[in-house]
Amino acid sequence: MRTEVITVRTGSRPVVRDITQEAARFASEAAGDGDGLLNVFVPHATAGVAIIETGAGSDDDLLRALDDLLPADDRWQHRHGSPGHGRDHVMPGFVAPYATLPVVGGRIALGTWQSICLVDPNGDNSTRQVRFSFVRG
């Protein structure tokens, strides 16, 4: 197994950050021309990984849907950080902190419009770690 950790700057507001290029580079280096599985993991209690289309508004739609589903208000029992921060700790129950993808011939087998995205609703932390792990098939 091979692993690598990258740092992603997410800023001070909710964001969906496309990390497909970084994941593809890692998978290509780790797999060579071979096959296997790429695991993408975010070791944070308030972030997740989504496989979605980006650039056509879907990333903003995802953030809006999360806001509708998990409003940033005072209903949450978890109450440290920014107002409504408790919802950030619930979000990984809906957007898991990991994704596992097939790698075929050294390339991640994504669909035409799919991207690997870090989803970070938590503006209290401006940087995130993402761990890529490759297991040869």
Instruction: For 96, list phi and psi in degrees, rounded to 5.
Output: -60, 150
Q: Per the structure, how many domains does the chain have?
A: 1
On whether the CB atoms of residues 122 and 11 are closer than 8 A, the answer is: no
Question: Would you say 136 and 29 are in contact if contact means Cβ atoms under 8 Å apart?
Answer: no
Tell me the CATH number at 103. 2.60.120.460
Structural domain of 86: 2-136
Per-residue tokens: 73: 């208000």
Length of the chain: 137
The pLDDT-based confidence of 83 (bands split at 50, 70, 90) is confident
- Nearest Cα neighbor of 46 from 19, 75, 72, 65 is 72
Please tell me the pTM assigned to this model.
Answer: 0.95
**DSSP type of residue 111:** -
> Tens of pLDDT along 12-62?
999 999 999 999 999 999 999 999 999 999 999 999 999 999 989 999 999
| Separation CA 135–CA 60 (nearest Å) | 32
